Amino acid sequence: MRYTKKTFSGDEVLLDGNEYYECIFTNCRLVYRGGGDMSIVGCTFDNPQWVFGGSAANTIRFLEAIYRDGGRMLIEQTFDNIRGEA
C-alpha cells in the first residue's frame, strides 16, 4: 500500500510491502520483518522505536555474529558502503 503525507501517531506500523512518502511518524513502533520491498522517502520521525522481526531479525543476528567472530572489518565496510563512504 502507498501512503502519502499521512500522519501516524502512537501506532505500530508494519513497513513490509508498503511505501511511505512525506509521512510523519510520532511515537510509533516501526516494524520491518524482511518480508517485502518497502520505501520510506522524505518522512519525518519523532521518537520512533525501530523493531526488526522475522527474516530481518535473523539478518541482524547474522551480522552481529560475524562482527563478534572476527568479521568486524567486513561489517564496518558494509556500513561505510551504506553511508556512501566507500
Pairing mode, strands 19-21 and 7-9? unpaired
Are 38 and 56 within 8 A, CB to CB?
A: no
The C-alpha cell at 69 is 567472530
Percent of the chain with pLDDT over 90: 95
Pairing mode, strands 24-26 and 44-46? parallel
CA angle 10, 15, 18 (to 5 degrees): 120
The C-alpha cell at 49 is 522505536
Going by pLDDT thresholds of 50, 70 and 90, the confidence category of residue 82 is very high
Query: Residues 29-41: pLDDT tens digits?
Result: 999 999 989 999 9
For the ranges 25-29, 39-43, 44-48, 81-85, the lowest mean pLDDT is seen at: 81-85
